[in-house]
Structure formats: structure tokens, C-alpha cells
Amino acid sequence: MIIAVDHGNYAGPIEGLEDPTRAVRAAVDGGADAVIVNIGTLRKVHAEVAGRVGIILRIDGGHTLLHPDKTQNSALTGTVELASTAGADAVVVMGYVGSNKETESLATLGQVVSDCTQQGLALVAEMLPVDHLNKPAYTDEYVALAARVGSEIGADIIKTYYTGSTESFARVVHGSVAPVVVLGGPKMDSNERVLEVAEAAVKGGGAGVAFGRNVWQSGNPQRMVRALVEIVHEGKTSSEVYSELMNKP
């Protein structure tokens, strides 16, 4: 049960992350297992999270929403050594599959695997396929490819797209040699839909979720975290937790 609050390195102070400390506190108080943060936020909240929640440090990025080149790509903006020194338990980097920067992206991923091995940190690879041959990126064929590639290169956890159904996501999970968590992506239509996606991913064999804006833009982030924890760790259904937690005054 991972909460991502790393969006500020490309989107700035967007709604819900004007003060990332609030989102981090909601994650911790709601019972999340880990948070994904950038080094700036980690320095600000380290005393509050150390020993209470896993710390996954984002060490790549290199572009913002204003950058004219929208090609899917990223560059390292930090190091595994920095993450270790800062008290992180793991790092996260992107892995783009099918983009025109695929070779560079996967080479970077391989280098980070080596660095993590030396420093004793885990690696979360955010494996993102791109649209190809008129098929959208989130089809199970492409997501399974991306997940398998990231796991074969050596990632400890794969973070990737939900493919639309329990059955299709199960194919992604089955094809990876590392545990798979589903990312939240853009803001979903409703809180109920967020919980449904989490339930379907877990039923498909997913190890959990790594959600961001669908938590801290939910209206009550701490309550949403708790609802997701009950789905991921307690096996409750989305309808159960929505009724129990989301409808409380």
C-alpha cells in the first residue's frame, strides 16, 4: 500500500500537494506501507516518517509540464547513494518501453539496479509502455511486456498500469518475475472507482497499489488510505470499505 507524493518534480504545487507534508501525514496516519517522495519533500518530513513508513525516493525526472518535448523520457536527477544517505529504503525510476528513448531508459534502469545492489536498497521500476500500432499503452500485451522487461533487468517491484480487468491484469502479474503494484494514473471519476481498481488488481494477483492524486485529491486522504489498506491487506471488497469508510460523516 504505497502513496505517491512525488508529482511536484514535474507538475509543481498541484491541487492536494500544495503542501506535500499534509499528504505524507495522511498516508502515515492512514496506515500506508510506504510513500514515494522526492528528496526535497523527504528532507522536510524525514523526522515524521522515519521508522513509521517505508521511504521510496524518486531519483529521476528532468522535465516539467512546460517542456516542449512531450516524448516519454526521463533522466536521473539523483543517485542511489544519495537515497541511502538520506535514509530511504528504496528508489523508484521510470522505465519507458516502446518510446524512441527506450534504449537509454532501460540502460539507466540497469545501472540503477547495479547501484541498488551495491547500496543495499530495493528498486521500484515504474514500467510504462507507450501507444503502439494503434493499440493503447494499457493493453495487457504491452503492460505485460513492460513488467517482464523491468523485472528481468532486476527491479524488486514493478509499478505499472491497470489493464482494465482482473483477468487481464492477472496476465501481467503472471508474466513478471517480480511483484507488481498498480499505479493510479490520472484522477478517476469517483472514489468508488478508485477502490474498485484496487480490488480488481489485488484479485488479479497484484501485490498492492501505488496511488497518488486518487488519494490526496479524494476529499479525505487519510480515510481513502485506510480504505485501500483494508482492500490490500485485509481482503475486503471495494463495496464493503466504501460503505464503511467513505460514507461516514
pLDDT of 73 over the 80 cut: no
The CA distance from 249 to 235, in Å, is 24
Which pLDDT value is given to residue 138? 72
Closest CA to 76 of 44, 110, 41: 110
User: For residue range 98-112, what is the model confidence (pLDDT) as tens digits?
Assistant: 988 899 999 999 999
Classify burial at 209, counting beta carbons within 10 Å of its beta carbon; exposed 0-12, middle 13-18, buried 19 or more: buried
Residues 6+ apart with CB under 8 A from 176: 144, 147, 148, 150, 151, 158
| All cell numbers assigned to 63 | 522535465
**Mean pLDDT value across residues 178-196:** 95
Element (H, E) at 58: strand 54-58
**Mean pLDDT value across residues 91-103:** 93
DSSP class of 135: B
Closest CA to 172 of 184, 157, 162: 162
Q: Is the pLDDT higher at 86 or at 72?
A: 86
User: For residue range 37-68, what is the model confidence (pLDDT) as tens digits?
Assistant: 999 999 999 998 999 999 999 999 978 888 87
- For residues 160 and 172, the answer to whether their CB atoms sit within 8 Å is yes
Specify the length of the chain in residues.
Answer: 249
Question: Given 3-state DSSP classes, what are the helix, strand and coil percentages for the chain, each rounded to the nearest 5?
Answer: 45, 20, 35
Average pLDDT, the chain: 93
| All cell numbers assigned to 147 | 513488467
Residues 6+ apart with CB under 8 A from 121: 80, 83, 84, 88, 89, 90, 91
Domains and CATH numbers, the chain: 2-246 (3.20.20.70)
Q: Which residue has the cell 494499457?
A: 138
